[in-house]
Amino acid sequence: METIVSETIEEQPLQSVITKKDLMMTFVFSNFQQASFNYERIHALAFCVDMIPTIKRIYHTKEEQSEALKRHLTFFNTTPAVCGPVIGVTIAMEEAKASGADIDDGTINSLKVGLMGPLAGVGDPLVWGTLRPIAAAIGASLALSGNILGPILFFIAFNAVRLSMKWFGLTYGFRKGLDIVKDLSGNLLQKLTEGATILGLFIMGVLVTKWTTINIPLVVSKTPGQDGKMIVTTVQNVLDDLVPGLLALGLTLLMMKLLKKKVSPIVLIFVLFAVGIVGYGLGLLN
């Protein structure tokens, strides 16, 4: 195992081949986390780009590099300001994998999913619900009287906090990740794999119902209620009474099956767009 003590990070010497320059490059990339935002996999391409400095550093054959790139072209989404810790931990995991630890694709992806959901749970209310409204409200109140300090203050305050969250999140995640993979002796790795998979699957289940929107407004029945008002029951109401998010779950399972049968994701995307447009046109979906 080749490890060089990187002297570039001051706090504690890290057993890592990842240089501070690699982390810096990743940090710069992570400021463009939503550049290729797309409905299919949200930040997938961005996460892959974030990992490129690491992949270049630790994998040396084309095959390994290609495998690693593909591993990180999967669905990813979190509040952009808090993506740092996930990227940091993932860098550490990749490095352990490159130096021979038996970490499979599933573990790395489970860990990413397991972290991104809860981090978005912290990040959305913290950044979009608190930091920005407060900074913007202070800036706007100054701006209402034509004071140039308003926009300047908003810009500097928001970005200073955001950038430090990104950088410290990234380095913190990286250090924690190294701690985790440092002593992957005995069955700790197995435990980590299984634990991460459980956490990842659990969060994925939550996201399927929380982050997917399907509504079938087709009316099933109209009955007068006790107060004389008409109670309208739609197909969606009936489905929600069974379990909320049933259609999202069904659709996800169907996609899993089709993907396993080697149906191209592009075809699936186009079919789903067509379903959306036709369904909307016929009034079956809204």
202: its two tokens: 């659990």
Q: Whose Cβ is closer to another protein: residue 9's or residue 17's?
A: 17
Which residue in 9, 15, 20, 118 binds another protein (CB under 8 A)?
Answer: 118
Q: Which token pair is 114?
A: 């397991």
SS3 track for 37-76:
CECCCECHHHHHHHHHHHHHHHCCCHHHHHHHHHHCCCCE
Between CA 96 and CA 109 the distance in angstroms is 15
Site string for another protein, 161-180 (x = CB under 8 A): -x------------------
Report CA-CA distances (Å) from 255 to 28, 158, 259, 262, 271: 34, 40, 6, 11, 11
Q: Does 36 bind another protein (CB under 8 A)?
A: yes
Do 265 and 197 meet the contact criterion of CB atoms below 8 Å apart? no
Query: CB of residue 271 vs another protein: minimum separation in angstroms?
Result: 10
Binding residue for another protein, selected from 84, 85, 88, 117, defined by CB under 8 A: 117
Q: Where does residue 127 rank: exposed (0-12), middle (13-18), buried (19+ CB within 10 A)?
A: buried
- Which one, 9 or 246, has the nearer CB to another protein? 246
In DSSP terms, which residues pair with 221 in a beta bridge? Answer: 233
The region of 10-18, 113-121, 174-182, 229-237 touching another protein under the rule CB under 8 A is 113-121
Q: From 43, 9, 45, 31, select the one nearest 171 (Cα to Cα).
A: 9
Please report whether residue 187 would count as binding another protein according to CB under 8 A.
Answer: yes
What's the farthest any 2 CA atoms get from each other in the chain? 77
Looking at residues 120 to 139 of the shown chain, list those that interact with another protein (rule: CB under 8 A).
120-122, 124-125, 128-129, 132-133, 136-137, 139
Q: Quote the least distance from Cβ 234 to another protein, whole Å.
A: 15
- Who contacts 110 (Cβ-Cβ below 8 Å, separation ≥6)? 193, 196, 197, 199, 200, 201
Question: Binding to another protein (CB under 8 A): which residues in 64-93?
Answer: 65-66, 69-70, 73-75, 77, 80-81
Minimum CB distance to another protein, residue 202 (Å): 4
Count of residues engaged in binding another protein, rule: CB under 8 A: 122
CB of 219 to another protein, least distance (A): 18
Q: How far is the CB of 229 from another protein (least distance, A)?
A: 26
Site string for another protein, 45-64 (x = CB under 8 A): xx-xx--x--xx-----x--
Q: Tell me whether residue 4 or residue 140 sits nearer to another protein (CB atom).
A: 140
Q: Residues 21, 177, 182, 64: what is their CA dihedral angle, to the nearest 10 degrees?
A: -70
Strand partners, 76: 42
Q: Is 262 in the site for another protein (CB under 8 A)?
A: no
Q: Taking the complex as a whole, how short is the minimal distance between the CB of residue 10 and another protein, in angstroms?
A: 27
Which positions from 1 through 30 interact with another protein, judged by CB under 8 A? none
Binding to another protein (CB under 8 A) within 193-222 occurs at 194-214
CA distance 81 to 127: 7
Q: Which of 8, 19, 20, 151 binds another protein (CB under 8 A)?
A: 151
